[in-house]
Structure 1
């Protein structure tokens, strides 16, 4: 789907909501609607008529190259520039990201109009991916898993968490990633009990659990994958915990289907952990959407009131974390379909014993 088609969808949604237009000030939403990859920009999308893109002089040439189908306004006053191109009416704002000061200025600039929160209207459109988005996500996931497989085939014991994390990131870049999706979580031994551990100079040792939460970024789209392995032979406790997490993930994955309640997956995954006696050790969220942001709508929880839609991409990542001892997480990036969900991070989830 072209960016113009995305803007058309948004304009229809605005008209349905009784809005004359939307001030798009969230940069990732500007990118989704225009293709602009710079660091300063805004977009005025009217319910009727053509959208207008605004940025400052640093991005004049970039805007010409990336947005040939849009009118460009070059100004350092993005809010003022948008306000000047409106007529009296009712306009939506992205109140979840717009600052208090920016809102106050818009109220002043739009004295003849009214402003209303449009909620997460663009984010809701972003939940369902088009063919180009799915292709970028597939590529990012493929690069990610191939990179980890290469790293695990090399020497690990005797190296530090930080060294292995950097090798994993560099391997993703060597395989074609434009960037890493987020700061790599590489944890060993008791550090695996910390859900979002930052790599340290701890030296990997035989008998350690090793947890890698990582991803590549391709064309702006993020992969998210976690695998937990053992350096050497796994003991009974490590096998038990890994099996419990894998069974929980399978239960949650089964319900990532078109038309199924988002909360159903959360309920199933937690019920599996509870049956295994490990629910209290699961202290994080179960999953989230992934795309132009590493964490985006929808977020998988027992309180989510909506249903899944085909071509939504999200993660499934149960875990068990026992402070002082260790932890296991298994995470996949998953494409929701009308049938069985398609796992995009295709690396094995068996408990690998490395070395």
Structure 2
């Protein structure tokens, strides 16, 4: 079955897909203004305006209906009198009101298309392997770059250019480069402050290939990897290795997350690891499934997830080590494979 047929097989009501990434996943159309209506019998109608009409008309397996630029008001008229399921996470309250006022009875759903996206097809895995290979190459080149005396912003700009030079479409998200106390902020903002010797530098970055993302984090030493900094680095690495060993089909996101906390909690630093272990990756950098303490996700073959424990000492330093992996029949396969041995940069 194709994607629309798989989606339709689980529908009771026609589903109006308005999340633009979900529209792209189902139809292949990249657009800033589109929706697709999928019927339980697998008939699908793609709605968009003049700007995307030519591309939409060329898509096999869907009926194209050209609308004015205001797609939702047009749909309110076209679907009046019908009962339609909608994506609650993607349809704004204003748009929902417009549809209701037009006579459309709405049924709220969440995560229906995202559940399909969570299991990657061979072609998707191929794109993600290519993105991960580029990521590995760029990280290896980054390790040869001077760090000391350059700013976080300068290194982030180097990464921006490196993705393109290595053959990626571009970055999959804004890179994080954070040394010292800034590295203790999981979502640190770039600074124009020179990187000193004797600290840790967290680099979290990824690229996009054919729309699919990579996501990888490494923590670099600007001095000898020894003493207290080496201890927390090794502790974080052990936590990551423990989590990787816990991944297999049928494992719960909650349990894999818990496996990543054992060593850190035993060292008395549990409160320094405040975020979830990881998340799904695909067309979005953050998608299903997730692995965190409250997760109800169950891992399945074909899931691609990040494994990224961190230790954050406020006002001091942070460490995060992240790989992107695909769940396999007997565990997981690392897609990002650049070294996790301590790397000293100049």
| TM-score (norm. length: structure 2) | 0.95
Aligned to 1:52: 45
> 1:61 Cα deviation (Å)?
2.3
Q: Does 1:71 align with 2:63?
A: yes
In structure 1, the gaps of 5 or more residues are none
1:11 corresponds to: 8
Output the CA distance in 1 between the equivalents of 2:214 and 2:291: 17
Deviation at 1:68, TM superposition (A): 3.9
Contact 1:248 1:272 in 2 (8 A): yes
Q: Which of residues 162, 173, 181 is equivalent to 2:164? A: 173
Which stretches of structure 1, 4 residues or more, deviate above 3 A after TM superposition? 80-90
For this pair of structures, how many residues does the alignment match? Answer: 345
State whether structure 2 residue 247 is matched by structure 1 residue 265. no
Question: Map of 1:282-301 to 2, 5 A cutoff?
Answer: 282-301=273-292
Any residues of structure 2 matched to 1:203-214 within 5 Å, and which? 203-214=194-205
Deviation for aligned residue 1:238: 0.7
Per the alignment, do residues 323 and 68 of structure 1 end up closer, same or farther by CA in structure 2, a change over 3 Å counting? Answer: same
Matched, 1:347 2:335: no
1:104 CA drift (Å): 1.0
Closer, same or farther: CA 80–49 of 1 in aligned 2, 3 Å: farther
| Higher mean displacement: 76-85 or 333-342 | 76-85
Contact 2:44 2:61 in 1 (8 A): no
Q: Which runs of 5+ in 2 are unaligned?
A: none
Q: In 2, Cα distance between the equivalents of 1:269 and 1:96?
A: 30
Q: Please point out which of 96, 99, 109 is paired with 1:106.
A: 99
* Cα distance in 2 for residues equivalent to 1:346 and 1:49: 40
Distance 1:110 1:332 in 2: 48
Whether 1:250 and 2:220 are equivalent positions in the alignment is no
Aligned equivalents of 1:143 and 1:90: distance in 2?
46
Q: Match for 2:303 among 269, 288, 312?
A: 312
Q: Tell me the residue number matched to 1:280.
A: 271
Say whether the 8 Å CA contact 2:252–2:299 is kept in structure 1.
yes
**Structure 1 length-normalised TM:** 0.93
Q: Alpha-carbon deviation of 1:230?
A: 0.2
